[in-house]
Structure 1
Amino acid sequence: MIVSNPKQKITAVIPIRRGSQRVKDKNLRPFGDTCLMELKIRTLMQVPEIDEIIVNTNSEDAIRIVNECYAVGGVKTYRREEYYASSECSGSEFFRNLGEVTDTDVFMYCPCTSPFVKPETISQCIRAYAERGENDCVSTVSQIKEFLWLDGKPLNYDPSNAPNSQDLPDMVALNFGVTVIGRQDLINNRNIIGKNPRFVVTSDIEAIDIDTPLDFYIAEQIYRKTVIEKLELLE
């Protein structure tokens, strides 16, 4: 195990809410030759530093699939209380509850909606957390080179002296591909991101986050091209 304290337990948690709103059942609906939940489980099972994988969900279908197909591999489920899967629950309440119900030292937040995060990138984040120094969490981010405006005002450039896009300030956006944080920090902060985060920049493909039907469609086409067709060529 690659953590400062060899006794620390690393748990990867896959959060799944039944139904989902913008993309109906996006975590369990067909995605190429699989579904987003199973793809995420198989990815995490390739990360040697992880001690435990838990699917935190209020979906009976998700629990059934895990118990039938992945329990033998040690994957567990936690049946989420309905309140923490409802729109009444705030993000802060949700994150705090995730920490409170997960018996671990190091918590990894691994949503299904980032299907292309590689096992190697997850291992990199775990190593970065072990070497974090003053940082209290590690999270994946995407680089942004865009001309940003807010409330009618530019955020990151002077329109009267506009730079080339490559010369814009180095800004990043959280993409939540994976986040590593101490369980107690998660509970105390009520957020998966700590007070002093360390960032790992991902590739554009790894940064893809499925949030809309168009996102799902594009991601599935990429998956078919990069995974399914490659496997077919090997057969």
Structure 2
Amino acid sequence: MKKVAMIPIKLNNERIPGKNVKCFSDGIPLINLIQNACLHADVDKVYVYCSSEGIKEYLVSGVEFLKRPQYLDSDSSNCNDIIREFIKQVDSDIYVVSHATGPFTRSLSINTCIEKVETEGYDSAFLAKRIQEFLWSEGKTINFDIQNFPRTQDLTPVYSETPGAYVFLKETFLKYDRRVGINPYIHEVSEIESRDIDYPEDFLIADAIYTEIIKSMDSSYWGDKYEKR
């Protein structure tokens, strides 16, 4: 089966200007990490899908640039809109969509999701962080009885999607018009791997993790085929 990875990028982020190409303390752009993770995953091609050709200077060797329509940069567009347009331009049996804001995504995790979709009958897969905490919403408990609360380890876990990888069959997206079908595989990842960068403080935390933890690790963190560049 043909497998293609797509990294959607826009350069006009509001909350963190230039977020996707913002550099860590050592000068490595944020976008580099997810490109490398995708390059060393089990895919045939990796594309950065961006409306601006200015992104080309940030491409890692082996990653291809594909220009997308400018309207997809608007706040009213979501990832499904981007995928819909990408599928028109690039044909594949399986698509992997990974975001630069999940910089600590491992190639091994992407491959696990691909394998589940390709060989085990799941129509889609994604990475998620397990949350097993006392949760509230609008002044009410969500997952526990306030009068007879259990130990945290006995709470029913919920899962928060991470931006690292969404994997799905082409037919799944065409049928449901979304990246997650009706039989998804949820691959649980660690606190570090689940890091998402939405706000300035998120980038500061990610920079600290990258500088103090990730850079000192060998390639085994990322996956068997990964080589840091």
TM range (shorter): 0.7 to 0.9
Q: CA RMSD in A?
A: 1.8
Moved over 6 A (4+): none
Give, in whole Å, the separation in 1 of the partners of 2:201 and 2:169. Answer: 34
**Partner residue of 1:152 out of 128, 139, 146:** 139
1:202–1:62: structure 2 CA closer, same or farther, 3 Å change rule?
same
Give, in whole Å, the separation in 1 of the partners of 2:182 and 2:22. Answer: 36
Cα shift readout 1:197-227 (whole Å, capped 9, x = no counterpart): 1111001110111111011010011101123
1:110 alignment partner in structure 2: 98
2:58 alignment partner in structure 1: 65
Q: Which moved more, 1:216-225 or 1:160-169?
A: 160-169
The answer (yes or no) to whether the contact 1:125–1:180 under 8 Å persists in 2 is yes
Give, in whole Å, the separation in 1 of the partners of 2:80 and 2:38. Answer: 25
- TM-score, normalised relative to structure 1: 0.85
Q: Which amino acid aligns with 2:135?
A: L
2:45 alignment partner in structure 1: 52
Give, in whole Å, the separation in 2 of the partners of 1:64 and 1:55. Answer: 12
Matched, 1:191 2:185: no
Q: Which moved more, 1:200-209 or 1:54-63?
A: 54-63
Matched, 1:43 2:31: no
Instruction: State the Cα distance separating 1:98 from its structure 2 match.
Output: 3.2
Instruction: State the Cα distance separating 1:21 from its structure 2 match.
Output: 1.5
The answer (yes or no) to whether the contact 2:31–2:58 under 8 Å persists in 1 is no
Q: Which amino acid aligns with 2:114?
A: I
**Partner residue of 2:114 out of 106, 117, 126:** 126
Gaps of 5+ in 1: 1-7
Gaps of 5+ in 2: 219-229
- TM-score, normalised relative to structure 2: 0.87
1:82 alignment partner in structure 2: 70
Matched, 1:27 2:20: yes
1:100–1:14: structure 2 CA closer, same or farther, 3 Å change rule?
same
1:93 alignment partner in structure 2: 81
The answer (yes or no) to whether the contact 2:126–2:166 under 8 Å persists in 1 is yes
Q: Which moved more, 1:222-231 or 1:179-188?
A: 222-231
| Number of corresponding residues | 217
Secondary structure of residue in 2 paired with 1:38? helix
Matched, 1:178 2:178: no
Instruction: State the Cα distance separating 1:149 from its structure 2 match.
Output: 2.0
Instruction: State the Cα distance separating 1:230 from its structure 2 match.
Output: 5.6
1:143–1:36: structure 2 CA closer, same or farther, 3 Å change rule?
same
The answer (yes or no) to whether the contact 1:110–1:179 under 8 Å persists in 2 is yes
Secondary structure of residue in 2 paired with 1:27? helix
Instruction: State the Cα distance separating 1:131 from its structure 2 match.
Output: 2.9
